[in-house]
Amino acid sequence: MAGRKGKLAVISGPSGVGKSTLCREAVGRTNAFLSVSCTTRKPGHAETNGKDYWFITPEEFEKRIAEHGFIEYANVYGNYYGTPRQPVEDALKAGRAVILEIDVQGGLQVKQQYPEALMIFIMPPSPEELLRRLEGRGRGEDEASKKRRLDAAQREIEIARQRYDHLVVNDQLERAIDEVVQLIQL
């Protein structure tokens, strides 16, 4: 790990909080490298391989696990998700800031391997606003699915309060982007 020049930033937060928007804006304003995760799930209708995720087979994913090819990974609802190690290491060695947009579970795995990683958690202004945002995404979720997401959000927030370095409330998008950018550039 010695000789690493770049800064590694983990950005986590509940579904619907605006992580992707914040990460895209932070990358555009800092020239940071945004890691693209691998997954074994099928692509959504508007998703692009290599941009949104690297869509790979379960066999390929398991091969990469055996080769220590992921910084972190998890099986979520029967599909693997993971952060490829090599592109992150290459960007860090080149002196770039690296952003990992990953869940809390993955963030904690990263922190074990990279103790210097900057841990940023994106908070909703309120549970009510988070529910409104989830409903506004138009993904046709039923009430049980929304409740699961809100319960998961509450668990993630509790962990983040204890284990993350910074909590950024996404109540005003431009202010939240500025805060994330400042943290990455410190």
Print pLDDT tens along the chain (186 aa): 445 589 999 999 998 899 999 999 999 999 899 999 999 999 988 889 999 899 999 999 999 999 999 999 999 878 999 999 999 999 999 999 999 999 999 999 999 999 999 999 999 998 888 878 777 665 556 788 778 878 888 999 999 999 999 999 999 999 999 999 999 997
* Structure token digits, residue 137: 């995404």
Q: Would residue 1 count as lying in a domain?
A: no
Q: How many CB atoms lie within 10 A of CB 5?
A: 10
CA-CA distances (angstroms) from residue 185 to 46, 87, 119? Answer: 32, 20, 14
Burial class from Cβ neighbours inside 10 Å (0-12, 13-18, 19+) for residue 157 reads: buried
- Give the CA radius of gyration of the chain: 16
Residue 1 is predicted with a pLDDT of 44
The 3-state DSSP class for residue 125 equals coil
Q: Distance (Å, rounded) from C-alpha 154 to C-alpha 159?
A: 9
Residue 179 is predicted with a pLDDT of 97
Residues 84-106 as b/e (b if ≥16 CB within 10 A, e otherwise) read bbeebbebbeeebbbbbbbbbeb
Q: Would residue 181 count as lying in a domain?
A: yes
Residue 138 is predicted with a pLDDT of 57
Q: Would residue 141 count as lying in a domain?
A: yes
Q: Would residue 104 count as lying in a domain?
A: yes
Q: Would residue 3 count as lying in a domain?
A: no
Give the CATH number for residue 105.
3.40.50.300
Residue 16 is predicted with a pLDDT of 83
Q: Would residue 69 count as lying in a domain?
A: yes
For the CA atoms of 145, 146, 150, 151, the dihedral, rounded to the nearest 10 degrees, stands at: -30
Residue 84 is predicted with a pLDDT of 97
Give the domain extent around 32. Answer: 8-185
Q: How many structural domains comprise the chain?
A: 1
